Amino acid sequence: MADIANPTEHAPSSESVIGAKKKPTVIKSPREKAADKVYWVVRLFTIVNVIMMFFPTFNPAKISDQINKNLSLFTCGVSYSSLVTNLGRSFTRGWVPEDAFKLLNASCLIIIAAAVVLIVGGCMSLGNNKMKKTGSLVAAVGAVIELCSLFGIYRSYNMLTAPEVKAEKVNPVLPGMIWVYMAIAVLLLALSVLLIFMVPKLEVGEVMEMAPKFRLFLMMLPILVLAFVFCYLPLFGWRYAFFDYKSGETLTMEKFVGFKWFTQLFQNSATRNDIVRVIKNTLAMSALGILTSWVPMVFAIFLAEIKNTHFRRIVQTFTTIPNFISWVLVYAIALAIFSTDGFINTLLTSMGHSTTTNYLLSTSHMWLKMLAWGIWKGLGWSAIIYIASITGIDQQLYEAATVDGAGRFQKMWYITIPELIPTYMVLLLMSIANILSNGMDQYLVFSNAVNKDSIEVLDLYVYNLGIGSGLIPMSTVIGMIKSVISVILLFSANGISKLVRGESIV
């Protein structure tokens, strides 16, 4: 009874409980704190070293005027044909040694490999002391490899300036960026060697390990790199909108025209009419897609109601496979069915009809035709996310509804659909944000001289304008405006979602 009357007599105090939950504080020595600062410098210059490889401005391999000025170090390393595109005649005439450019290509490729080694070393610096020491050694090796490769580029330049070479045919020049790369490599080598001695002495039996947060970050790092390379790095091409540029030429300040192409976009009546036409097609097809965006959800609901597991899997498989068929093959299927010699016309001819119709050349109901092909191709794939959401619904809700006497359709209406509405709203708002980006492949393969005015959407118009007509600056301007509008729509949709549902999507 005494224990009951004084329940806190043997209970630990709040201070001891709080103290027990605290993690032990790790006190770092001044030497370790200094090493952490040096590690940040190494990581920073490692990232700079990698980013520079993708920009033509920082290419140290431009040892000749015959090398395309728009090539980056990365392209020079992975594509020998791009490196020597303008040197075929010099090779056949024997004016310059081809070995010089083979060495240049190999040196660039090794620099790329050295950058990978430096990245590995930088990632290892996020671990414990043993991993840091090993990572510093790896980074030092990467810096040495990069220095040797830079000397290979310098050797290639010397081969072009040899007395027996007709230097005037290739105009050899030593790019100043080679010294920038060399300075960064020397700095990384010196700091990596310094860090090997700055890391505290390892404990006996210590193994390499890393904190979970850093391991998760490194797992996401490849995705971040791919997003940077394919989503953000191409934004560097927006500079073409401010130059009078033609494919294959070099960007120079003599060709800088400022906002000429922006003003011409609105001043030229023909271009303005084309923009109005393609935006009308784009908005119409996107609107039809948004209005039918509920179809995959309904399909997933009815698919989940199929009790025969084997039949349900067969249906899901056959409706998902079209998503993995390219639009070129889809058009081949359409050609086999709807062309003049296709299945439908052959069937009608056998039934006594004397005339044939090429349905693919018809402009009637073109928007609905494209919508039908899009639904057929993407229905099963779009339903997967709803099927996953259905499997996450609490089964006790259905059991309680069964006890209350609810039928199958009542369960679908009062349980399944309300549970799927949040998922549907997120996808709907994202579709609204991407209303100007409804793809190009489908409309490109189905496009022809007859239906072009009805089928050409904004993405296809940019492609035709830039690749077909060679107006790269104008197409870049339109692409820029489209991207800006898409970002505005995304944040507007996010604001609406937060205002209506209390939840944001970004």
Identify the DSSP state of 29: P
Hey, CA dihedral for 428, 430, 434, 439, is it positive or negative?
negative
Residue type, 404: D
Phi, psi angles (nearest 5°) of residue 243: -130, 155
- Residue-by-residue DSSP string for 422-438: HHHHHHHHHHHHTTT--
Percent helix / strand / coil, the chain, rounded to 5? 70, 0, 25
Structure tokens at 68: 């395309």
Query: Which residues have a Cβ under 8 Å from the Cβ of 152 and sit 6 or more positions away?
Result: 103, 104, 106, 107, 110
**Total Cβ atoms within 10 A of residue 380:** 22
Q: In sequence order, what DSSP letters do the residues of 447-463 get, joined into one string?
A: --TTTHHHH--HHHHHH
The two structure tokens encoding residue 233: 């790095």
DSSP state of 248: T
Torsion, Cα 219 222 227 228, to 10 degrees, reads 120
CA distance 504 to 506: 6
How many Cβ atoms are within 10 Å of 340's Cβ, its own excluded?
14
CA 50 centroid distance within chain: 18
Give the CA distances from residue 402 to residues 308, 398, 414, in Å, rounded to whole numbers and listed in that order. Answer: 20, 6, 12
Q: How far is CA 470 from CA 244, 268, 467, 479, in A?
A: 11, 17, 5, 15
| Full-model pTM | 0.69
* d(C-alpha 34, C-alpha 168), whole Å: 52
pLDDT tens sequence for the chain (506 residues): 344 444 444 444 444 444 444 545 556 677 778 888 899 999 999 999 998 998 888 999 988 888 888 889 999 999 998 888 888 888 888 788 888 889 999 999 999 999 999 999 999 888 888 888 889 999 999 999 999 999 999 999 988 888 777 777 778 888 889 999 999 999 999 999 998 888 877 777 778 888 888 888 888 888 888 888 888 888 888 888 899 888 777 777 888 888 888 888 888 788 888 888 999 999 999 999 999 999 999 999 999 988 888 999 999 999 999 999 999 999 999 999 988 888 888 888 888 777 778 888 888 888 999 999 999 999 999 999 999 999 888 889 988 998 988 888 899 999 999 999 888 988 888 888 788 888 788 999 999 888 888 899 998 998 888 888 888 888 888 888 888 888 888 788 778 777 776 776 66
CB atoms within 10 A of CB 472: 20
The number of beta carbons lying within 10 Å of the beta carbon of residue 123 is 19
Burial of 428 (0-12, 13-18, 19+ CB in 10 A): middle
